Amino acid sequence: MNQDMSIVSLVLQASLVVQLVMAGLMFTSLASWTVIFGKVFGLKRVRRGNEDFEREFWSGRSLTELSAEAAKKVDGSPMERIFASGMREFLKLRERRLEPGAQLDGARRAMRASFQRELDVVESNLSFLASVASVSPYVGLFGTVWGIMHAFVGLSNMQQVTLATVAPGIAEALVATAIGLFAAIPAVIAYNRFARDIDRIAIQLETFIEEFLNILQRNAGTAPAQAPTR
């Protein structure tokens, strides 16, 4: 490309509508990359926290001690908060001397509610990436169609039309589609990767809930003064 057909020149020479479309797509792409990097580090932190707590949980430490520590933390892992909510509800119902089944049901409901809250937090901004992935190509296509229409309207006043006169207007319009794909492709890849990682985290948390319920089942119906054990 020569100087007049550079990307910057094509953007500057585009019509106002096409320039607005390009600017919107570039802003969307920047926001998408911000979400992607934030999600990468956020999910890594969640996985590391869950693994650390699960290692502590199976290390043989007292469940009461783990519950007391979890209650004091403000930045614990999702698995730790789920454990704390289930343990807290179980101890509360056991002090009331309810039936063992009622104790387990209460702990299960508490952990399921906490699990859903944690999953909502982990899935935050995932819908934004899905929207960027699905909408950006169409927005870019709209800019392209508008730009081509604007170019042909301008060419209608010319008596002689050659490829040299048509090419710049079409090239300007096609830049909008290119920017739309530039915004959409990373969002698609990131969404698929994050969805798979979140599914693994959800499976890990659900497995922990079932294992912890098995432990609580062995302690259901015991005296309130007796500390829960494995």
Residue ranges of the domains in the chain?
Answer: 3-219
pLDDT for residue 157: 66
Within the chain, residue ranges assigned H as helices are 7-13, 16-57, 63-72, 78-95, 100-122, 126-155, 163-219
pLDDT for residue 77: 93
pLDDT for residue 153: 73
pLDDT for residue 18: 83
Q: Which residues of the chain have pLDDT under 70?
A: 1-7, 154-168, 223, 225
Report the phi/psi class of residue 97: left, alpha or beta, with left for phi > 0 and alpha for psi in -120 to 50: left
pLDDT for residue 96: 87
pLDDT for residue 1: 43
pLDDT for residue 4: 55
pLDDT for residue 2: 45
pLDDT for residue 3: 44
Sign of CA dihedral 100, 103, 107, 109: positive
pLDDT for residue 203: 96
| Cα–Cα dist 11/75, whole Å | 46
pLDDT for residue 156: 66
Sign of CA dihedral 122, 125, 130, 133: negative
Q: What is the pTM of this model?
A: 0.83
pLDDT for residue 225: 61
